[in-house]
Amino acid sequence: MSNLEGKIALVTGGGRGIGRAICQELAARGATIIVNYRRSGAAAAEVVAQIEKAGGAARCAQADVSDADQVTAMFKAIVSDFGTIDILVNNAGMTRDNIIMMMKPDDFDAVIETNLRSCWLCCKTAARTMMRKRSGSIINITSVVGIAGNGGQTNYAASKAGIIGLTKSLAKEVAVRGIRVNAVAPGFVETDMTADLADEIREKAIEAIPLGRMGAAQDIAKAVAFLASDEAAYITGQTLVVDGGMVM
């Protein structure tokens, strides 16, 4: 399983939820992890401690990834300390749901900036280093909502559909430099993001999942680890849906 030995991996929003599971999975396969967080410093420190306890290597990096200056500073520090970056997982994300009549322009902007602009900024900054090295793997976390749409999530769906377009375009741009760019589209996963949903909505969602359960963060992490590894050496520009069969 240790197929990421010697790789340096940055996971945005790695302190909680799906990001935390991705950090743990990549670390278990031998990668050195940089756990980015915006506010959850204690949670990110806990992830680092868990990885170290298991014999791996990890470090925290605070940055709001929707802010260009903070992204530049974070990557500069990573390259200065580790010499390179091999794997970038753009996982940071948020929701601010409402029907369009009630949704404020600020709710649209905040979700686009946190989900899509951050992804573009981190891809742009990582690509510079990866292009020099002529290798790298970028995995962007989108959502089945970016493929199928979802009432009450016009902002979130637009951001996640945008990530799929970004992924394909960048994959075409950088393939010649040995860099692969893919997306993972989770379905309905147990994290803080889905914790507040009403029981009725939760039950209906599970009914629509052929495999009959919500996803675990580890389900997503395993797909990310595969795409990050050389086992996926001939895969680029793809969106891997991990949703128990919800969207086919």
| Residue positions annotated with a catalytic role | 156
Does 218 contact ligand NAP by CB under 6 A? no
Beta strands (DSSP E) in 97-152 are 136-141
Burial class (CB in 10 A: 0-12, 13-18, 19+), 26: buried
CB of 84 to ligand NAP, least distance (A): 22
Closest CA to 186 of 237, 134, 146, 238: 146
CB of 165 to ligand NAP, least distance (A): 16
**Scanning residues 25 to 54, which ones bind ligand NAP (CB under 6 A)?**
36-40
Alpha-carbon distance of 83 to 28, in angstroms, equals: 21
User: Do 29 and 18 form a contact (C-beta atoms < 8 A)?
Assistant: no
Q: Which of 32, 125, 191, 229 binds ligand NAP (CB under 6 A)?
A: 191
- Amino acid identity, position 237: G
- φ, ψ for residue 198, nearest 5 deg: -65, 150
Does 65 contact ligand NAP by CB under 6 A? yes
Does 98 contact ligand NAP by CB under 6 A? no
Does 188 contact ligand NAP by CB under 6 A? yes
Does 114 contact ligand NAP by CB under 6 A? yes
Q: Which of 192, 199, 200, 207 binds ligand NAP (CB under 6 A)?
A: 192
| 24-32, 91-99, 121-129, 171-179 -> range binding ligand NAP (CB under 6 A) | 91-99
Alpha-carbon distance of 124 to 197, in angstroms, equals: 35
What torsion do the CA atoms of 180, 185, 186, 191 make, to the nearest 10 degrees? Answer: 70
Beta strands (DSSP E) in 21-130 are 32-37, 58-62, 87-90
Please give the size of the binding site for ligand NAP, defined by CB under 6 A.
Answer: 30
Q: Which of 28, 45, 73, 94 binds ligand NAP (CB under 6 A)?
A: 94
Nearer to ligand NAP, 68 or 193 (CB): 193
CB of 154 to ligand NAP, least distance (A): 15
Alpha-carbon distance of 65 to 71, in angstroms, equals: 6
Closest CA to 227 of 176, 183, 194, 178: 183
Alpha-carbon distance of 104 to 187, in angstroms, equals: 26
Does 61 contact ligand NAP by CB under 6 A? no
Alpha-carbon distance of 117 to 111, in angstroms, equals: 9
Nearer to ligand NAP, 11 or 130 (CB): 11
CB of 169 to ligand NAP, least distance (A): 19
Does 24 contact ligand NAP by CB under 6 A? no
CB of 39 to ligand NAP, least distance (A): 4
Q: Which of 7, 8, 10, 17 binds ligand NAP (CB under 6 A)?
A: 17
